[in-house]
Amino acid sequence: MKKDTEVNMMHGAGGEVMGELLQTLTAFKHNNAGGIGLESLDDGSTFDIGGKTVVLTTDSHVVKPIFFPGGDIGRVAVSGTINDLSVMGARPVALTCAMVIEEGFPITDLEKIVASMDEALGECGASIITGDTKVVEKGSLDGIVINTAGVGVVDEESYLIRDKALAVGDKIIVSGTLGDHGMAIVAYREGFDLGDQLKSDVAPLYSMIHDAVNAAPKGAIHAMKDPTRGGFAACINEMARKAGVKVVVEQDAMPVRENVASAGSLLGIDPLQVANEGKCVMGVSADAADAVLAALKKHPYGKNAVIVGEVVEGSGVVMRTRIGGERFIEPPMGDPVPRVC
């Protein structure tokens, strides 16, 4: 295949094409501060201070439209950073916030965005403690871009969790219905009326993940990741590839809302390939899976959690279909719904 010479939209979509761009963007010799570094391409990186493991992550947000059913760019910005820290077993402590704002952007919209960010922070006990603002000429930006970076600490009651440590025998748990965020945004963006229940799942997951981690013996959750760009398909393939294992999931077990599935059929989009902003995927030891699942279900954000499959020897991700066949779940080349996070 001919190598791209210019960046295109597919490069930012979280799929296989983005992986090619990352070979350029991560070509730093100075990429590790003594823990997990940039070379790992995990949800965050780590370093130690005073015997404590600190997790650091950063993300930029270019959501279109800025306000959508279930949330807005501000809630996505905070939740995305909180979740990247949480899936690594860290307690979120502090965030930064940098905004690049187009000239003419309504001040009232900024007030709504800030209020939404503050509400999400309050759900997990973190704070935005520093930031930066830039304003650019009208027409040089599509409204607003928000960057958030976050710092979290792995407390003694928790432990560092990677996305690469699936083990044969693990049960795969997803914390709720898949495809809600991406499908809600694209349906709203394209003007489809698919009912009031089609809305984003965007949420900060720290308290839910904290409860799940503490419901089982330390170390029982072997791997965890949030299925954002590229959705569940990209997430589970990356986890399986990094661990050198095969994941088998059951089609009947996959939690997809009826209206999300209907929207996917109407738009020709697989809900398993679109972003989620309030879900996580876990690989849990078989003897602890029921306890972790029960803890998730007790939390409002995890009430639809389900075991969808297991880890076996081999490679790739396979779905057992309702009619008894099998098909591979391939990682998407790019997210079919751009500008959702």
Does residue 338 form part of some domain? no
The CATH number of the domain holding residue 250 is: 3.90.650.10
Does residue 215 form part of some domain? yes
Same structural domain, 150 and 229: no
More confident residue, 267 or 67: 67
Query: Closest by alpha carbon to 44, among 154, 127, 197?
Result: 154
Same structural domain, 101 and 201: no
Same structural domain, 289 and 207: yes
Same structural domain, 256 and 210: yes
Token pair of 134, please? 């830039």
Whether 228 has a pLDDT exceeding 70, the answer reads yes
User: For the chain, how many structural domains are there in total?
Assistant: 2
Does residue 337 form part of some domain? no
Count CB atoms within 10 A of the CB of residue 293: 22
Does residue 269 form part of some domain? yes
Does residue 2 form part of some domain? no
Burial code (b: 16+ CB inside 10 Å, e: under 16) for 84-98 equals bbbbbbbbbbebbbb
Does residue 163 form part of some domain? no
Whole-angstrom distance, CA of residue 212 vs CA of residue 209: 5
DSSP calls for 64-81: SSSEETTEEHHHHHHHHH
Same structural domain, 175 and 311: yes
Residue type (1 letter), 129: I
Question: Given pLDDT bands bounded at 50, 70 and 90, which one contains residue 266?
Answer: confident
Same structural domain, 129 and 30: yes
Domain boundary at 92, 127, 154, which? 154
Same structural domain, 175 and 148: no
- pLDDT for 117 equals 98
Angle between helices 206-213 and 289-298 (to 10 degrees): 150
DSSP 8-state symbol, 336: S
For residue 276, the Cα-to-chain-centroid distance in whole angstroms is: 6
Whether 10 has a pLDDT exceeding 80, the answer reads no
* Mean pLDDT for all residues in the chain: 91
Does residue 159 form part of some domain? no
What domain range includes position 122? 9-154
The CATH number of the domain holding residue 41 is: 3.30.1330.10
User: What is the side-by-side order of every strand in the sheet holding 221-225?
Assistant: 221-225, 281-284, 171-174, 306-312, 246-250, 316-320, 326-328
Whether 16 has a pLDDT exceeding 60, the answer reads no
Does residue 185 form part of some domain? yes
Same structural domain, 189 and 264: yes
